[in-house]
Structure formats: structure tokens, C-alpha cells
């Protein structure tokens, strides 16, 4: 899906220029580094069918987007199993994550342009962290499968913070760990929950339209939307940053 760019004033600016000089870039994982939401959807659908959820009718992708995508596991368990005690709901979530990891080992691949943006960041000596609501075993597996274990200097997990996304705590923790300012950092996110967390933490967020509806993402107030890391809109914004003196820009071919 291509991104429409004139309909929203925030989207039409497509600028990160207020950050110069840039110090760090933060990334969500699921849907941001790779298109993994279908694997989560398949895992949920399969296990929910096994327990007869919704009268044995498979959940739809729309249900998944509205009730599951981008949310923390505890919140998902409470939302889809309101009559269960939390411990039982969390056991289901653990089983679902194990099935997801099985799928991921066979099917995960990077979003288009991911290694291009990686090189851009490394060439400029920018700091970087992954910030996710996923459990740590998932996060570390995904990062490893994508060949990014040596790229990220920190991995911040929502459940290891006081509050997970959509609260700002995970992104604020990333700033603290990297020892950078929110005024010199931006974020890549693909969910409304994640965008809200980044905006609440005081940073501009570039939204990826990997799976979630553009209208839903724009309500969370990203600076602009891109389809992937090859999107010309992103590279125009990064070129503007280089012109304003991003670290190491002059040394890069």
C-alpha cells in the first residue's frame, strides 16, 4: 500500500530537521524491523481455535488489529479473556509466543530497505536501541534472525519497565540507557500504541504502514508515514538532516 501524503498537515511536512544534530534512532521490532504481524496473527488464530474461542469461529485480521496488534501481553490477555484469571491468560500468551517463535525461525525477513537505513545510521555513528512490548525471548530471537545483534546497543522490553507502551516509559528508558536527549532522537514505529508511546516521550515518530491502517496511525500523530525503509519520503527527510550537520554526514559517500 502506498502512503498518501497531502491529506494531513503532519504527514505533508515529512521533516525531522528539528532534531539536528541527530544523536540516536530507536526502533520498535514487530512490524517495524520485519513484517511479523501475520505470524502473530496465525499463532493467535491457531491457539484460539484449539480452545474454542468465539464459538470456534477463527478470529479475523480486523479483530487482531483492533484487539491485539502492538499491545502488551498482559493487556491482550485481559482484553480477550475478561472472564479468566490473569495467570491463566498469561499462560495462554506464553504458549502463543512459543508458537510464534517457531513460525519466526522459518519465515522472518527484514522490511525492504532495513539494511540501507542500518548503514546510514552506522556511517554517522548514531546510537540505537530496540524498544518493544514483545517478551525478551521474542525480541532477541527476531534481532538475531535479522542479523542485528551487533547493531543494537540496547534492547528495552516493555514488561521490564514500570509501564509498557502506549505509555512513554520504554522510550524514556531507552534515552536513559543510551544517554541521549529526546531532542536529538527519533523513532520508527508501526502501531498506534507505539507511536503514542514515542510521542508521549517527546520524540518525533516515523510511522510504518506495514499492516495497520494509515488513518489509525495518523491519529497517533507521527511526523509522517512511510511504507518501508526504501520510501523516498524517508530519504528526503534524512538528506535534510545531513544538510543540517548530522554527525559524520560529511564523511559518508
User: Which of these is catalytic: 28, 37, 75, 169?
Assistant: 28
Q: Which helix (H) or strand (E) holds 253?
A: none
DSSP at 153: S
Q: Is the alpha carbon torsion for 17, 18, 23, 25 positive or negative? A: negative
Q: Which helix (H) or strand (E) holds 3?
A: none
Distance CA 203, CA 28 (A): 14
* Catalytic annotation present for 83: no
* Catalytic annotation present for 230: no
Task: State how far the alpha carbon of 110 is from the alpha carbons of 32, 115, 149, in Å.
Answer: 9, 8, 14
The residues, ordered by sequence, that sit 6+ positions from 22 with a Cβ below 8 Å of its Cβ are 16, 124, 126, 184, 185, 186, 241, 246, 247
Distance CA 58, CA 39 (A): 15
Q: Is the alpha carbon torsion for 156, 159, 160, 164 positive or negative? A: positive
Ramachandran angles phi, psi of 206, nearest 5°: -95, 120
Q: Decide if 37 contacts 31 (C-beta within 8 A).
A: yes
Query: Can you give the length of the chain in residues?
Result: 253
DSSP for 180-211, please give it: --GGGEEEEE-SHHHHHHHHHTT--EEEE-SS
Beta bridge partners of 129: 26, 154
Rg, the chain, Cα only: 18
User: Which of these is catalytic: 30, 35, 75, 231?
Assistant: 30
Catalytic machinery residues: 28, 30
Amino acid at each position: 500500500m502506498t502512503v498518501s501524503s497531502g491529506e494531513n498537515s503532519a504527514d505533508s511536512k515529512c521533516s525531522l530537521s528539528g532534531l539536528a544534530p541527530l544523536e540516536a534512532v530507536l526502533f520498535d521490532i514487530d512490524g517495524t524491523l520485519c513484517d511479523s504481524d501475520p505470524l502473530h496473527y496465525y499463532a493467535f488464530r491457531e491457539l484460539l481455535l484449539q480452545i474454542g474461542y468465539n464459538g470456534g469461529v477463527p478470529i479475523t485480521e480486523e479483530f487482531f488489529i483492533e484487539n491485539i496488534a502492538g499491545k502488551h501481553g498482559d493487556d491482550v490477555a485481559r482484553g480477550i479473556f475478561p472472564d479468566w484469571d490473569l495467570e491463566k491468560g498469561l499462560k495462554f500468551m506464553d504458549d502463543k509466543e512459543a508458537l510464534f517463535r517457531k513460525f519466526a525461525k522459518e519465515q522472518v525477513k527484514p522490511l525492504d530497505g532495513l539494511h540501507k537505513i542500518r548503514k546510514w545510521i552506522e556511517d554517522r555513528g548514531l546510537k540505537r536501541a530496540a524498544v518493544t512490548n514483545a517478551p525478551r525471548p521474542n525480541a532477541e530471537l527476531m534481532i538475531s534472525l535479522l542479523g542485528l545483534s551487533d547493531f543494537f546497543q540496547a534492547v528495552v522490553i516493555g514488561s521490564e519497565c514500570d509501564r509498557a507502551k502506549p505509555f512513554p516509559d520504554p522510550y524514556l528508558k531507552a534515552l536513559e540507557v543510551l544517554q541521549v536527549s529526546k531532542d536529538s532522537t527519533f523513532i520508527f514505529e508501526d502501531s498506534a500504541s507505539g507511536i503514542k508511546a514515542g510521542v508521549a516521550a517527546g520524540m518525533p515518530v516515523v510511522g510504518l504502514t506495514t499492516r495497520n491502517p494509515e488513518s489509525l496511525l495518523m491519529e497517533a500523530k507521527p511526523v509522517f508515514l512511510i511504507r518501508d525503509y526504501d520510501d523516498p519520503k524517508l530519504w528526503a527527510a534524512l538528506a535534510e538532516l545531513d544538510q543540517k550537520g548530522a554527525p559524520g554526514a560529511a564523511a559518508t559517500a
